[in-house]
Amino acid sequence: MKRLTLTLCLASILATTPLMAASDSADNPSADYRKQWHSDILTGYQSLATQSQTLAKQAETYCQAPSPEGFEKTKQAWLEAFLAWQQVRFVDFGPVEQGNRAWQFQFWPDPKNLVARKASYLLKDDAPITPEKINESGVAVQGFPMAEYLLYDQALNKGESALPANRTCKLLVAVTHHIAANGEALANDWNSFQSSYVGNEQYTDTTIRAAMAGLEILEERRLATPMGLRGNGKRSIYSADAWRSEASLVAADASVRGLKHLFLPAFSKLLKDRGQASLAENIDQQFNEVLANFPELDRPMAPLLVDDKAFRSLQSLYIDVTQLTALVNDRAAVELGVVRGFNSSDGD
């Protein structure tokens, strides 16, 4: 899959974003780390808001004047917004907890195929598709998986409800506008969350635990389960997220890049300040080892699951992610005294 410019833009913005003054550092020694985390995560949320607005506008443009080219542009806009979400997906606390926002952005896992069932119901229903209808229809309707279903599902695209069918277009536009509104609100709320976040010592451990959870979910649920290393032991693309769009692996790439750009800078500084410079360097190197699997793995996961020779590339990625998880969740967490606790977003 072609490398997108989104992560490069994000890295460029981060490199030129100044950190806020550390006026309260003496009284709150870890405030500097939280200031950087707040600033970096804000950049990620702002990227999500921007890409989501682009998606909503493109969906509306396509449905007003459908064309094959417009359809491809809409799928590309979906992918770029979805990858922007993947980069901040590890943040499981603060404003993203309000109103189940994380689940609204991405209802997953979906073992009962609720997204498809909800779509079928809404497309057959006679009630108008309005913002209110989306709000009351639940998280399976409100986010990227529903838009992905409408754009990519093979069975839907072969039937009479295939885009640009009128009601399907109305649902796509309504869902993407919901995503865009959530993205804008989340960025604004995180910006307003600055004082509470920076001023609360507990958010240092909370942020580290969020990154730990993000790595565990990537290792155990987004890779090991579809690879047949967990659960029933059978390889299955349907256990992966974003399987309809064949974006499971490029989404994993985006999540690792998000952690590297939005979490790692302040985390490395924290480790070095605690006398763990060598460990910080090892973690940085292991992030690079994971990312070295891409862009070769920026492609569909499904063919890799059925071909034993191709499967080795997935195994290599999984081993690298496992080693990264061990460095962060075991070694670094122990050195910093961070205890892994219950995480309400496991599997979202």
Q: What is the pLDDT of residues 210-222, one digit of tens each?
A: 999 999 999 999 9
Taking CA atoms, 222 is separated from 108, 147, 252, in Å, by 10, 20, 8
Give the count of domains, the chain: 1
Residue 166 lies in a domain: yes
- pLDDT mean across residues, the chain: 92
- Domain assignment present for 24: no
C-alpha 50/C-alpha 80 separation (Å) is 10
Range of the domain at 110: 6-11+32-336
CA distance 339 to 229: 26
Section 32-56 average pLDDT: 98
Q: Does 151 reside within a domain?
A: yes
Alpha-carbon distance values, 188 to 167, 231, 259 (Å): 32, 39, 21
Angle between helices 202-217 and 31-64 (to 10 degrees): 50
Confidence band, pLDDT 50/70/90 cuts, at residue 39: very high
Query: Domain holding 207: CATH number?
Result: 1.20.1420.20
Distance CA 146, CA 345 (A): 19
**DSSP secondary structure, 20-42, as one string:** PP-TTTTTSTTHHHHHHHHHHHH
User: Within a domain: residue 341?
Assistant: no
Non-local CB neighbours of 43 within 8 Å, separated by 6+ positions: 10, 13, 14, 17, 262
256's CB contacts (< 8 A; 6+ apart) are 218, 287, 290, 291, 321, 324
Q: Is the pLDDT of residue 196 over 90?
A: yes
Q: Is 140 helix (H, G, I), strand (E, B) or coil?
A: coil
Q: Token pair for residue 216? A: 């565990």
Structure token digits, residue 218: 């990537």
Domain presence at residue 248: yes
Q: In which region does residue 165 sit, left (phi positive, over 0), alpha (psi from -120 to 50) or beta (all else)?
A: beta
Give tens-digit pLDDT for 5-18: 444 445 444 444 43
pLDDT digits (tens, 9 = 90+) for 152-168: 999 999 999 999 999 99
| Mean pLDDT, rounded, for 28-49 | 95
Average pLDDT over residues 174-186: 98
Q: Does pLDDT of 346 surpass 80? A: no
Are 52 and 118 in contact by the 8 Å Cβ rule? The answer is: no
Tokens of 299: 């492609």
- Answer whether residue 130 is part of any domain: yes
Q: Is residue 36 part of a domain?
A: yes
Are 242 and 248 in contact by the 8 Å Cβ rule? The answer is yes
Contacts (Cβ under 8 Å, ≥6 apart) of 303? 310
Determine contact, residues 98/72, Cβ cutoff 8 Å: no
Please write the tens of the pLDDT for every residue from 229-245: 998 899 999 999 999 99
> What pTM was computed for the model?
0.91
Q: 222 with 240: CB under 8 angstroms?
A: yes
Classify residue 18: in a domain, yes or no. no
Q: If you write DSSP's letter for every residue of 230-284 in order, what string do you get?
A: STTS---GGGSTTTTTT-HHHHHHHHHHHIIIIIHHHHHHHHHHTT-HHHHHHHH
Note whether 56 and 176 are within 8 A (CB): yes
CA angle (115 as vertex; 69, 132 as ends), nearest 5 = 85
